Amino acid sequence: MTEKTILKFGAVKNGEAGDLAGWIVVDGNPTMKTAVQHTTEDGKVMSGTWQATPGTYHATYSDYEFVHMISGRIVITPDGGAPVEVGPGDAFVVEADFKGTWKIIEPVTKHFVVRIG
């Protein structure tokens, strides 16, 4: 029997500043910081904490993401689709083929899980 491990995320201490691949600033001067706090042994799933300041990005996704919002507010609008507002306590998924804008209204902290590939 394999022993299971529990990893509790702490404060973001060593987050990497810089825009994610596929994210382009389209309004304002937003910044982001990503802290990958766990990656599975096979490298196919990673999770951690993401923080961003107000402004708007156009995002192009290549991987599936599950999100749990800790704080802040975002309006996410798929290209050609209707806007969806998310805030503290909300959980949602972004499919791997998503393209659209993330308008960060209030500074955001979110937990994420990304399935790579």
Per-residue confidence in pLDDT tens, the chain, 117 aa: 455 678 778 777 778 888 888 999 999 999 999 999 999 999 999 999 999 999 999 999 999 999 999 999 999 999 999 999 999 999 999 999 999 999 999 999 999 999 998
Q: Residue 62 belongs to a domain with what CATH number?
A: 2.60.120.10
In a domain, residue 91? The reply is: yes
- Asked whether residue 29 is domain-assigned, the answer is no
**In whole angstroms, what is the distance from residue 97 CA to residue 101 CA?**
13
H or E element at residue 5: none
Q: Answer whether residue 73 is part of any domain.
A: yes
Domain housing 86? 43-115
Specify the pTM: 0.89
Domain count, the chain: 1
Cα–Cα distance for residue pair 10/8, rounded to 1 Å: 6
Rounded distance between C-alpha atoms, residue 28 and residue 13, angstroms: 25
Which residues are 35's β-sheet partners? 49
Whether 26 is covered by a domain: the verdict is: no
Do the Cβ atoms of 55 and 82 come closer than 8 Å?
A: no
